[in-house]
Amino acid sequence: MKILLAVTGSISAYKTLDLTRELKKAGHQIKVILTKGAEKFVVPQVYKYLGAEAVYSYQSDFKYPNVLHVELGNWSDIFVIAPLSANSLSRIVHGEASDLLTSVFLALKPNVPTLAFPAMNTQMLDHPFVQENISKLYKLNSLSQVFIHPTDSGELVCNEVGEGKLPKVELILDFIEAFPIDKDIIGDNLLISTGATIAPLDPVRFLTNASSGLTGFQIAKYALSQGKKVKVIAGKYATTKLEHLNAHPNFKLVRVVTTKEMKEEVFDSLKEYPHYVSSAAIGDFSFKSSNQKIKKEFMPNELEINYEGDILKSVIESKLPSKVVGFAAESELTEKVLIKKFNSKPVDLLVGTKVNNGLLKDSQLQGFSNNNADYLILDSYQHFTKANLSKNQLAQYIVDRM
């Protein structure tokens, strides 16, 4: 992706140095525009050391042999303004073309999205003029893709506590990658379950597994980038990276604890989300739990359990979703094992992976939490695919085939 990053005059401008490095590591092309105010906080040349192809000053438009603001507007897939100061916000919404940033904004094609990440003092952010300007910028979304990300709250550089902080670099990176760069993409609503469910025994003890929910997160992020509306039903302790997508206009996140809660949420969502990816590591049973901690002297040798049923099988039998992707996390993964699972739960795509929680002696952690894993994938035509994929590559494989 070709990312044009505009940095304005805010103390949080220094975070965009890390952002540039992370964008480059993720394989993106970056060019940087600095406003006059930004140059008071950061050194332009550092961006080049961190991977930017070019860095432009606020006056570069008047020195460049070509029409730079048009050239950069045509080059970019996405225009990111981070941080966006109150001053630059005001100049943008009033249609100024007084420096390179404002000129580029006016020269962008309608299909090039603009993502703005404001950062300023809480009182400035709450001022009626600033709020009016934010509202004006939102109204532009009917003409072009403009999105303003909410600020974070916390301790500000002025030692006050409140709204106005620039979000973390990791969040900005994930959000940029999740934003569709083609406005004409028409997506199908996608429901994803991810992470582990929990079977409580008492207020202290519970049974769960090591599923991180990262696979579901990557599927959600890639699906959003393809223009789909996505709902994720995640286990309580699934990755907090899912919250990085909360502000996305096409994203919804619901967290659940037990298998029963996940099943209810899945079936409540299927009418609105016709495609279902069951990537969650769902527990098969629950305990007859106690409201008080069970003392050791009263702990039975055998625990009474209840079978919770198979959510994926129930979904298939309901015939509500038009397409279904299932996952099989196995300690011993073979074609025979996968075919047996497929015959009992015929899905459009069955993704098998060999996993281990890494807690047992001589075991090696594979699949759970690891970014790369060996996958054995079976499609509805009984065709097997073997591949070592990152979670991001697996996400693209699944969504593209749905």
The rounded distance, in Å, linking the Cα atoms of 54 and 137 is 27
The torsion angle over the Cα atoms of residues 110, 48, 13 and 142, rounded to 10 degrees, is: 0
Is residue 145 in a domain? yes
* 378 touches 397 (CB < 8 A): no
Is residue 340 in a domain? yes
Please indicate whether residue 297 or residue 123 has the higher confidence score (pLDDT): 123
pLDDT digits (tens, 9 = 90+) for 12-53: 999 999 999 999 999 999 999 999 999 999 999 999 999 999
Q: What is the pLDDT of residue 266?
A: 95
pLDDT digits (tens, 9 = 90+) for 261-287: 999 999 999 989 999 999 998 888 888
Instruction: Indicate if 158 belongs to the active site.
Output: yes
Task: Please tell me whether residues 48 and 165 are part of one structural domain.
Answer: yes
Strand, helix or coil for residue 402: coil
Over range 136-150, report the average pLDDT. Answer: 81
Task: Please tell me whether residues 198 and 172 are part of one structural domain.
Answer: no
pLDDT digits (tens, 9 = 90+) for 307-362: 888 899 999 999 888 899 999 888 788 899 899 999 999 999 999 988 765 555 55
Q: What is the pLDDT of residue 57?
A: 93
Backbone phi, psi, residue 47, to 5°: -60, -35
Is residue 159 in a domain? yes
Q: What is the pLDDT of residue 364?
A: 52
Is residue 183 in a domain? no
Over range 83-99, report the average pLDDT. Answer: 94
Task: Please tell me whether residues 278 and 385 are part of one structural domain.
Answer: yes
Task: Please tell me whether residues 211 and 244 are part of one structural domain.
Answer: yes
Q: What is the pLDDT of residue 186?
A: 61
Which residue range forms the structural domain that includes residue 172? 2-178
53: DSSP letter: S
Last residue of a domain, one of 178, 210, 226: 178
Task: Please tell me whether residues 137 and 219 are part of one structural domain.
Answer: no
Is residue 275 in a domain? yes
Q: What is the mean pLDDT of the chain?
A: 89
pLDDT digits (tens, 9 = 90+) for 207-228: 888 889 999 999 999 999 999 9
Last residue of a domain, one of 131, 156, 178: 178
Q: Residue 105: exposed, middle, or buried by beta-carbon count in 10 A (0-12, 13-18, 19+)?
A: buried
Q: What is the pLDDT of residue 85?
A: 96
The rounded distance, in Å, linking the Cα atoms of 283 and 209 is 8
Q: Identify the CATH number of the domain in which residue 381 sits.
A: 3.40.50.10300
Is residue 136 in a domain? yes
> How many other CB atoms sit within 10 Å of the CB of residue 264?
14
Which of these, 256, 234, 257, 258, lies nearest to 246 by C-alpha position?
A: 234
* 19 touches 42 (CB < 8 A): no
Q: What is the pLDDT of residue 153?
A: 87
* 223 touches 164 (CB < 8 A): no
Task: Please tell me whether residues 113 and 199 are part of one structural domain.
Answer: no
Q: What is the pLDDT of residue 184?
A: 57
pLDDT tops 90 at residue 255: yes
Task: Please tell me whether residues 47 and 170 are part of one structural domain.
Answer: yes
167: DSSP letter: P
Task: Please tell me whether residues 252 and 287 are part of one structural domain.
Answer: yes
Last residue of a domain, one of 178, 210, 245: 178
Task: Please tell me whether residues 113 and 208 are part of one structural domain.
Answer: no
Over range 53-70, report the average pLDDT. Answer: 87
Tokens of 104: 């580029």
Strand, helix or coil for residue 276: strand
Tokens of 50: 């961190």
* 349 touches 325 (CB < 8 A): yes
293: DSSP letter: P
Is residue 395 in a domain? yes
Over range 136-160, report the average pLDDT. Answer: 81
Tokens of 44: 């332009």
Is residue 184 in a domain? no
Q: What is the pTM of this model?
A: 0.90
pLDDT tops 70 at residue 289: yes
Q: What is the pLDDT of residue 360?
A: 52
Task: Please tell me whether residues 214 and 137 are part of one structural domain.
Answer: no
Catalytic residue among 106, 157, 158, 161: 158
Q: Identify the CATH number of the domain in which residue 130 sits.
A: 3.40.50.1950
The rounded distance, in Å, linking the Cα atoms of 247 and 264 is 25
Task: Please tell me whether residues 214 and 330 are part of one structural domain.
Answer: yes
Tokens of 183: 């406005």
* 110 touches 141 (CB < 8 A): no
Task: Please tell me whether residues 208 and 163 are part of one structural domain.
Answer: no
Side-chain-facing half-sphere of 363: CA atoms under 13 Å? 14
Q: For 160-174, 297-311, 360-374, which range has the lowest pLDDT when averaged over its residues?
A: 360-374
pLDDT tops 70 at residue 108: yes
Total domains in the fold of the chain: 2
Over range 369-373, report the average pLDDT. Answer: 75
Q: Which residues contact 343 (CB under 8 A, 6 or more apart)?
A: none
Q: What is the pLDDT of residue 142?
A: 60
The rounded distance, in Å, linking the Cα atoms of 14 and 239 is 27
